[in-house]
Chains A and B, each alone.
Chain A
Amino acid sequence: MSLLVVDGLGITFGGLKAVDDVSFAVAPGEIVSVIGPNGAGKTTLFNMISGIYRPGRGRVSLNGTDVTETPPHKLAEMGLSRTFQNLQIFQDMTVLDNVLAGYHLTERGSIWADLLALGSMRRRADKAREGARGLLARVRLDKAAEQMAGNLSYGALKRLEIARALALGPKILLLDEPAAGCNAVESEEIDRLIAELAAAGIAILLVEHDMKMVMRISNHIVVLDHGEKIAEGDPATVSRDPQVIAAYLGTENAEGAHADG
């Protein structure tokens, strides 16, 4: 059964249909990519699914429950996690604290325990800290754990966001351009990490401009243009679709299409 079902989702910003009647589904362990030129509505779609924007129309359901009006922190409790295209890092916190914040749902407890530093709080925090260090090692940021997050490079912050998103132990992970601004080595690492996560049964919804990566790792691709879904299918089908070629892949290589927007 599908974990995430998006049904007829749409939103309008001052007359502009940023997303219009988009439907698709993601199953556990599946990698679904959303592609489309700049301004196609990919990030807006993510913002609606993750509860940041309230959809104008349509429904989102998670594990069979309607979550269309559910606020982000409740969606997190239900196992939905995400990263951001324009980094949303807790700049004035250490790298480790950023990931620990991702453990909020498992490390939180009574406020009195927090104020008085009771043993119960310390045990919860220590457990989260152990997990956080493991995740940092996984994205190769363990050496930077005590640094202020604001001092990290762009590529490192991208990986930090992934580690923080993983701290929730998500069932479904939304990644908005995780490899943007990363060098070839970093891209490949993120590529491999995504494949590992999917293999572990996490549903992945991915927005990425790196077409080579998208074609290689996706099980299913949804193509947006001007807010509308113009095609969907497996990578081979999508890359042969005439409408997709016209809208997006037409300029031979994907990077070119990206730059032309």
Chain B
Amino acid sequence: MTWRNKWLQLAILAIAIAVLPLFFPSGYYYRVGALIFVNALAVVGLVILIGYAGQISLGHAGFAGIGAYACALAPEHLGLHPALSPVLGAVVSGVLALLIGRPILRLKGYYLAVATLGFGILVSMVLTNERALTGGPDGMQVADLGLRAVLRDLGWRLSGGEFWYGASGIVLVLGAWIALNLFDSPTGRAMRALHGSEVAAATVGVDVARQKLRAFVISAVYASVAGSLLALQNGYITPDVAGFLHSVEMVTMAVLGGVGSVLGATLGAAILTLLPQVLTVFAEYEQLVLGAVMILVMIFLPQGLLPSIARRLRGRDE
């Protein structure tokens, strides 16, 4: 079970983040890396919801939207410092998840999928329609975090790409650390237990509804922070961040990488972020190839990439 080992996973992640830039052919790849980390952060949140607690959400981009627009709106309208906006977004997302999670999480399977889908669509419609506030489908400008300027004054000159690569990488490692802590904690065990059997979990004293709600809220906060980071690093945001496609993309990344595994989630995010860039050589067939790759992975590695590979490696020395 070495691959489950918390520190090994964190070390692999941290080393990969630190070492990869040595192989970057150009500064552009810092941007790609930062995008991967932001996606991975949201997917790590979904690993808690889907992989640990066994609940589905097709609306988590809604929380990413809240996190993103908190960064776009709060500095201008509330006078909040840009560095505190992600915190505001996370609080709003968490409270909202608490409120809607209570009724929604009574539903199971595809009923839950549809209900969360509805939530995501609702958020994205509000963001699109409240033109006066959000600029509608055209999106809006996001104030700079200001941290890069502070670093520059301290004599540390970083390009935008380098800065966001590092910042997102650090937040991702932190998020992975928290998710791995949770895995091997009483709460994490309760979540995984109700995933295996709700009846049995309840008979050992697990308040099933409460633990599902916790997983939902925690994963919403992850999505929100990811949305905030995305808005800050792009300096611009459109309602697409909260859109249905983004929700589906998140779930796909989680399932592709291996939905129970934090490192797998990162791998899934990396592959699905990179693949479209690589597949541009297929021009108009890009989406077709992407779809085919996903179908093949799910047929041949139904546990997702990382757990399947880990199982195969373990199988050899058993």
Q: Which residues of A contact B192 (CB under 8 A)?
A: 90, 92-93, 97, 101
Partner of A108, one of B190, B202, B208: B190
The answer, yes or no, to whether A71 is at the interface (CB within 8 Å) is: yes
Q: Give the segment of B95-103, B149-157, B193-201 that binds chain A.
A: B193-201
Are A93 and B205 in contact (CB-based, < 8 A)?
no
The answer, yes or no, to whether A37 is at the interface (CB within 8 Å) is: no
Q: Return the CB mask of A39-60 against B: 1 if under 8 Å, else 0.
A: 0000000000011100000000
Are B200 and A115 in contact (CB-based, < 8 A)?
no
Are A114 and B195 in contact (CB-based, < 8 A)?
no
The answer, yes or no, to whether A88 is at the interface (CB within 8 Å) is: yes
The answer, yes or no, to whether B13 is at the interface (CB within 8 Å) is: no
The answer, yes or no, to whether A16 is at the interface (CB within 8 Å) is: no
Within 8 A of A (CB), among B177-212: 178, 181-182, 184-190, 192-193, 195-197, 199-208
Q: Return the CB mask of A59-74 against B: 1 if under 8 Å, else 0.
A: 0000000000001110
Are A72 and B193 in contact (CB-based, < 8 A)?
no
Are A109 and B186 in contact (CB-based, < 8 A)?
yes
Q: Which residues of B contact A113 (CB under 8 A)?
A: 185
Q: Which residues of A contact B197 (CB under 8 A)?
A: 88-90
Partner of A90, one of B187, B200, B205, B218: B200
Are A168 and B181 in contact (CB-based, < 8 A)?
no
Closest A residue to B208 by beta carbon equals A73
Bound together, the chains give a CA A71 to CA B202 distance in angstroms of 8
Are B189 and A72 in contact (CB-based, < 8 A)?
no
**Number of contacting residues on A, CB 8 A?**
45
> Would A114 and B188 be within 8 Å (CB), given that A90-B197, A93-B193 are in contact?
yes
Bound together, the chains give a CA A97 to CA B208 distance in angstroms of 17
Bound together, the chains give a CA A96 to CA B143 distance in angstroms of 50
Bound together, the chains give a CA A121 to CA B189 distance in angstroms of 13
Partner of B200, one of A88, A103, A111: A88
Bound together, the chains give a CA A175 to CA B199 distance in angstroms of 15
Partner of A117, one of B185, B204, B218: B185
Are B185 and A90 in contact (CB-based, < 8 A)?
no
Residue from A88, A101, A146, A165 whose CB has the most chain B CB atoms within 10 Å: A101
Bound together, the chains give a CA A85 to CA B206 distance in angstroms of 20
Residue from B184, B185, B195 whose CB has the most chain A CB atoms within 10 Å: B185
Q: Which residues of A contact B201 (CB under 8 A)?
A: 90, 101
The answer, yes or no, to whether A10 is at the interface (CB within 8 Å) is: no
Q: Which residues of A contact B190 (CB under 8 A)?
A: 101, 104, 108
Q: Return the CB mask of A73-100 against B: 1 if under 8 Å, else 0.
A: 1011100011010001111111001101
Partner of B199, one of A72, A115, A117: A72
The answer, yes or no, to whether B260 is at the interface (CB within 8 Å) is: yes
Bound together, the chains give a CA A168 to CA B207 distance in angstroms of 14
The answer, yes or no, to whether B132 is at the interface (CB within 8 Å) is: no
Q: Which residues of A contact B200 (CB under 8 A)?
A: 84, 88-90, 164
Are B193 and A101 in contact (CB-based, < 8 A)?
yes
**Number of contacting residues on B, CB 8 A?**
29
Within 8 A of A (CB), among B211-241: 214, 218
Closest B residue to A110 by beta carbon equals B187
Partner of A102, one of B196, B204, B214: B204
Bound together, the chains give a CA A94 to CA B196 distance in angstroms of 12
Are B195 and A92 in contact (CB-based, < 8 A)?
yes
The answer, yes or no, to whether B283 is at the interface (CB within 8 Å) is: no
Are B203 and A76 in contact (CB-based, < 8 A)?
yes
The answer, yes or no, to whether A124 is at the interface (CB within 8 Å) is: yes
Are A124 and B186 in contact (CB-based, < 8 A)?
yes
Residue from B189, B192, B260 whose CB has the most chain A CB atoms within 10 Å: B189
Q: Which residues of B contact A105 (CB under 8 A)?
A: 204-205
Minimum CB–CB distance from B1 to chain A (whole Å) comes to 6
Are B189 and A52 in contact (CB-based, < 8 A)?
no
Are B204 and A92 in contact (CB-based, < 8 A)?
no
Q: Which residues of A contact B195 (CB under 8 A)?
A: 90, 92
Q: Which residues of B contact A101 (CB under 8 A)?
A: 189-190, 192-193, 201, 204, 206
The answer, yes or no, to whether A19 is at the interface (CB within 8 Å) is: no
Q: Which residues of A contact B196 (CB under 8 A)?
A: 89-93
Closest B residue to A148 by beta carbon equals B1
Are A73 and B205 in contact (CB-based, < 8 A)?
yes
The answer, yes or no, to whether A125 is at the interface (CB within 8 Å) is: yes
The answer, yes or no, to whether A116 is at the interface (CB within 8 Å) is: yes
Partner of B1, one of A81, A104, A146: A146
The answer, yes or no, to whether A244 is at the interface (CB within 8 Å) is: no
Minimum CB–CB distance from B72 to chain A (whole Å) comes to 28
Are A77 and B193 in contact (CB-based, < 8 A)?
no
The answer, yes or no, to whether A210 is at the interface (CB within 8 Å) is: no
Are A108 and B203 in contact (CB-based, < 8 A)?
no
Are B182 and A76 in contact (CB-based, < 8 A)?
no
Are A116 and B178 in contact (CB-based, < 8 A)?
yes
User: A73-B206, A165-B204 given. 5 additional CB < 8 A pairs?
Assistant: A52-B199, A93-B192, A146-B1, A165-B203, A168-B205
Interface set of A (CB-CB < 8 Å, partner B): 50-52, 71-73, 75-77, 81-82, 84, 88-94, 97-98, 100-105, 107-109, 111, 113-117, 121, 124-125, 128, 146, 164-165, 167-168
